[in-house]
Amino acid sequence: MYEPHEIYEMHESYEPVDAPGPPRRNRRRAAIAVGSLLALLLVPVAADRLATARVESRTATAFQAGMRTPSAPKVHVRGFPVLTQLASGTLRHVDITAHDIPASDTTGLLPLSELSLQLTDLRKSDDDSEARAHSAEATALLSYPDLSATLGPTITRGSRPDQVRATVPLPTGDITVTTTVSVLPGNRIAFKDFQVTGGPLPELGRAALSGAFARPIQLRNIPQGLSLRSITATDSGLSARLSGESVTFRADDTARTDSSYSDA
């Protein structure tokens, strides 16, 4: 009987083979290219940060020398890149915070416990003698201990934002009065509307108050061009808000009136 034979025989099996990966040389070239690109991106950033740190340090040193502060202020130059700002000669935004600014060599003037400045478009002169900001906003803090040392009576916060308390020592006992604070032209702070809050006010106390508050306090240790806008009593002292245009900082502060600081 005829038996069919298998014509096809599977002598071996076939398995799929993975496609070969990219050559190592190609991977190495890609890694080098990525590294070079990162270097090109990071080098300008590092250089810009170095330039920022340098100009911030020089500005702090100049401000400390001009304002005679015991420590260098905190300076922050905003905006990126700073290198292009330096190349143009104008820093777009500069923030400065200084502490313990003395009034001046003249006695009877009020020092500043803190001065915070926000400067816009700061540019120095060709001879490096001054720097000028197109505009500026500032906040100055006049501490109660400094107010007390300047005026005589012990000054503390009142019950309202425009009010302080003054304690007058008398042989018969301390007398406490409240007085309002207000802004006068010429960057001056006035005290008025006295009201006795503790005990009668004898003639001796009235004389003491008249002598202490007869003349307004004038702020002299602020950059030239800033004008006093408002004054508020806080827990720490009187907070003065100032603003102005064409605010100038000079290297030579010996003849300053509103005050100045050195160039950036």
- Classify residue 144: in a domain, yes or no: yes
Long-range pairs of 199-208 with CB within 8 A, sequence gap ≥ 24:
199/173, 199/174, 199/175, 200/175, 201/175, 201/177, 202/170, 202/172, 202/175, 204/170, 204/171, 205/168, 205/170, 205/175, 208/152, 208/153, 208/168, 208/170
What pLDDT does residue 232 have? 97
- Classify residue 160: in a domain, yes or no: yes
Number of domains in the chain: 1
- Classify residue 6: in a domain, yes or no: no
Is pLDDT at 99 greater than 90 in this prediction? yes
Q: What is the mean pLDDT of residues 129-140?
A: 92
Assign 27 a pLDDT band (cuts: 50, 70, 90). Answer: low
- Classify residue 174: in a domain, yes or no: yes
- Classify residue 207: in a domain, yes or no: yes
What pLDDT does residue 40 have? 41
- Classify residue 196: in a domain, yes or no: yes
The answer to whether the beta carbons of residues 116 and 94 sit under 8 Å apart is: no
Assign 51 a pLDDT band (cuts: 50, 70, 90). Answer: confident
What pLDDT does residue 199 have? 62
pLDDT (tens digit per residue) in 220-230 = 888 899 999 99
Kindly state the tokens that stand for 26: 């190609």
Q: Nearest 10 degrees: CA dihedral of 20, 22, 28, 34? A: -150
- Classify residue 25: in a domain, yes or no: no
Give me the chain's average pLDDT, please.
78
Is pLDDT at 22 greater than 70 in this prediction? no
Domain hosting residue 193, numbered range: 39-250
- Classify residue 21: in a domain, yes or no: no
Backbone φ and ψ for 94, nearest 5 degrees, come out as: -130, 130
